[in-house]
Amino acid sequence: MNNVKDSVLNKIKQGEVAMRPRWHFMLKGVLALSGICILTLWLIYLLSFVVFALVTSGVIMIPAFGFHGLVEFLSALPWVLIFIAAVFIILLEILVNRYSFGYRKPLLYTLFAIISFTIVGTFVVSKTGIHELAMQRSVESRLPVMGHFYKGYGLPPHERISVGEILLINKNGFVLNERVEGRLNVTINDYTKVPTGAAFGVGDQVVVFGLRQEDEIEAWGVKPFYGKMFRPSERTEKMRFQEESEL
Amino acid sequence: MQEESDETIAILVQNDDSEAFGFLIERYEEKIKRYGRKFLNTKEDIEDIVQEVFIKAYTYIQSFDANQRFSPWIYRIAHNEFVNELRKKTRQPLGFFDPDTILPFVISSETTDGPIEQAELKKMMEEFLAELDEKYREPLVLFFYEELSYQDISEVLHIPVTTVGVRINRGKVKLKDLYTKKAV
């Protein structure tokens, strides 16, 4: 007599063991695939936003100013978002490894595939201009939920990174119309690094690297700004003014 | 029914022929028990777990894709059950990412061993298998005793095919080391 066979078949006959329906597994599969899709879309959104925020804030241009620039760049990176993106990548890796196309390949390959796909996705999303649109609405205070998120990362209050337009060239340097802070006097000296050469003119958009003290900046570096210049709307400036007055 | 493939019988079970499931149990009971003996020593434990394996197989049979082979699928269930039991007994932590699964490896074809060397290896396995790490033990058992291909072992253990090759090769080297040490 076969104990295991009889025992299992008896349990099946008596209804103690029931077969799970096919839809149960299909639903699980659909949910897992949806999870992969949603996670991938969020990851692409997040990374494209990180790139957008780095360009818009001017942080991406800072490493060109040497060691100090690199240190500032590292401290100004949106580490929370990068950490969340890393968690998403790990979760995706785990989900992908549930499927044979995932676990059959070495982890390095699947990780490379995920990262490559995300980079391509990030590039495509960057080209759509979705973040520029959201940022524009954000500075105009017309983006209800994500407004602070966009403004917080796109126009962060860096005291060593200033972005604006040259209003006037003078003997010490130039006057900068900083997009948030307003007029600032920028001093250029022999130690100021200008990686692209010193030919700046009125109306040029620049990133100035240097400690801002009230309205003065002694520039450690100046570089053309290639991102889109977002300025807080008059309403935002008025609110800022009110806040400052109250303080 | 005796001549039907496992996959054909599995389709019958999926179509509510629970008697057909008996044939699958007959075909795999001894194999799964032998596989389990490489993990656990107690006969009662193995009996209970083998029964649990078939109960799980019946419960999840609708998730089996009949275009794939049945044996890696049922060994996968058995692997999970035995590993869970082993972890309960030895309180081993869950392994997450094994370095062997991260990097790609170049491996030789499935085996270049001749029948004499294979027989010797089986003899060494009988003697020293328990002294090997679980990660080497399992692919060796599945390959030499259960005669599964690297591809099938990859399906059972959910690890890359190249990792299967690496573990089998390293396992063989470790077995030979143990054998040499004993001989000395």
Q: What is the CATH number of the domain that holds B29?
A: 1.10.1740.10
Among B76, B92, B108, where does a domain finish? B92
Q: How many residues does chain B have?
A: 184
Under an 8 A CB cutoff, do B47 and A4 touch? yes
Average pLDDT rounded to a whole number, residues A30-39: 94
Q: Per residue in A78-130, pLDDT tens?
A: 999 999 999 999 999 999 988 888 988 888 999 999 999 999 999 999 999 99
Looking at the structure, tell me whether residues B6 and B86 fall in a common domain.
yes
Is the pLDDT at B95 greater than 60? The verdict is no
CB burial string A59-93: b at 16+ within 10 A, e below: bbbbebbeebbeebbeebebeebeeebeebbeebb
Looking at the structure, tell me whether residues B119 and B75 fall in a common domain.
no
- The tokens describing A5, both together, are 């066979």
Looking at the structure, tell me whether residues B117 and B177 fall in a common domain.
yes
CATH hierarchy code of domain A158-224? 2.40.50.320
**Number of structural domains found in chain B:** 2
Looking at the structure, tell me whether residues B105 and B78 fall in a common domain.
no
Is the pLDDT at B161 greater than 50? The verdict is yes
Looking at the structure, tell me whether residues B127 and B148 fall in a common domain.
yes
Q: Is the dihedral of CA B153, B157, B163, B166 positive or negative?
A: negative
Q: What is the dihedral of CA A44, A45, A49, A50, to 10 degrees?
A: -40
Q: Per residue in A198-228, pLDDT tens?
A: 678 899 999 999 999 989 999 999 999 988 8
The Cα of B112 is separated from the nearest Cα of chain A by a number of Å equal to 23
Under an 8 A CB cutoff, do A9 and B104 touch? no
Q: What is the CATH number of the domain that holds B167?
A: 1.10.10.10
Tokens 């600032």 found at: A184
Enter the pTM of the model.
0.80
Q: Can you tell me the distance from the alpha carbon of B83 to that of A11, in angstroms, rounded to the nearest whole number?
A: 24
User: Of B122, B118, B136, nearest to B174 (Cα)?
Assistant: B136
Write down the pLDDT at residue B112.
60
Among B61, B92, B123, where does a domain finish? B92
Looking at the structure, tell me whether residues B65 and B104 fall in a common domain.
no
A4, A12, A106: residue with CB nearest B50: A4
Contact of B148 with B75, CB cutoff 8 Å: yes
Element (DSSP H or E) covering residue A169: strand A161-169
Q: Find the residue in A nearest to B160 (Cα).
A: A104
- Sorted by where each begins, the domain ranges of chain A are 2-139, 158-224
- The tokens describing A43, both together, are 């990851």
Instruction: Out of A70-74, A152-156, B107-111, B121-125, give the one with best mean pLDDT.
Output: A70-74
Among B92, B119, B136, where does a domain finish? B92
Write down the pLDDT at residue B93.
58
Under an 8 A CB cutoff, do A19 and B161 touch? no
Residue B75: domain span: 1-92
